[in-house]
Amino acid sequence: MSHIPVLLNEVLEIFDPKSGENYIDATLGEGGHTREIIKRIAPNGRVLGIDWDGESLEHFKKDIEFEGKDRVITVRGNYADLKKYGEEAGFRDVKGILFDLGWSSIQLGAVKGLSFNESDEELDMRFEGDGESARDIVNSYKEEDIANIIYEYGGERYSRRIAKAIVEARRKKKIETAGDLVEILTQVLPRRYEGGRIHPATRTFQALRIYVNHELENIEKGLRAAVEVLGEGGKIVVVSFHSLEDRLIKNLFREEANKKTITILTKKPIRATREEIIHNPRARSAKLRAAQLL
Ligand SMILES: C[S@@+](CC[C@H](N)C(=O)[O-])C[C@H]1O[C@@H](n2cnc3c(N)ncnc32)[C@H](O)[C@@H]1O
Q: Is 49 in the pocket of ligand 1 (CB under 6 A)?
A: no
Per-residue pLDDT tens for 1-34? 467 899 999 999 999 999 999 999 999 999 999 9
Gap from CA of 78 to ligand 1 centroid (Å):
9
C-alpha span between 262 and 14 (Å, rounded): 15
Per DSSP, what are the bridge partners of residue 75?
A: 50
Q: Is 29 in the pocket of ligand 1 (CB under 6 A)?
A: yes
Per-residue pLDDT tens for 206-248? 999 999 999 999 999 999 999 999 999 999 999 999 899 999 9
Gap from CA of 258 to ligand 1 centroid (Å):
29
Of 1, 12, 23, 52, the residue with max ligand 1 atoms within 8 A of its CB, to mutate for a pocket test, comes to 52
Q: What is the mean pLDDT of residues 133-142?
A: 98
Question: For position 110, what pLDDT does the model report?
Answer: 80
Closest approach atom of ligand 1 to CA 32: 8
Is the pLDDT assigned to residue 128 strictly greater than 90?
Answer: no
> What backbone torsions phi and psi does residue 65 show, to the nearest 5 degrees?
-120, 135
In the chain, how many H helices and how many E strands? 13, 8
Q: What is the mean pLDDT of the chain?
A: 94
Chain Cα centroid distance, residue 243: 12
Q: Is 27 in the pocket of ligand 1 (CB under 6 A)?
A: yes
Q: Is 53 in the pocket of ligand 1 (CB under 6 A)?
A: yes
Global pTM value: 0.92
Question: For position 258, what pLDDT does the model report?
Answer: 97
Question: For position 1, what pLDDT does the model report?
Answer: 42
Q: Are 113 and 178 in contact (CB under 8 A)?
A: yes
Residue nearest (by alpha carbon) to ligand 1 atom 17: 52
Per-residue pLDDT tens for 177-203? 999 999 999 999 998 999 989 999 999
Q: Is 240 in the pocket of ligand 1 (CB under 6 A)?
A: no
Domains belonging to the chain, first-starting first, are 8-106+215-293 (3.40.50.150), 129-212 (1.10.150.170)
Residue nearest (by alpha carbon) to ligand 1 atom 7: 32
C-alpha span between 277 and 86 (Å, rounded): 34
Q: Is 127 in the pocket of ligand 1 (CB under 6 A)?
A: no
The residues near 216 (Cβ < 8 Å, ≥ 6 apart) are 153, 210, 244, 245, 248
Is the pLDDT assigned to residue 51 strictly greater than 90?
Answer: yes
Of 51, 219, 248, 287, the residue with max ligand 1 atoms within 8 A of its CB, to mutate for a pocket test, comes to 51
Q: What is the mean pLDDT of residues 270-279?
A: 97
Question: For position 53, what pLDDT does the model report?
Answer: 87
C-alpha span between 75 and 86 (Å, rounded): 10
Of 6, 15, 27, 212, the residue with max ligand 1 atoms within 8 A of its CB, to mutate for a pocket test, comes to 27
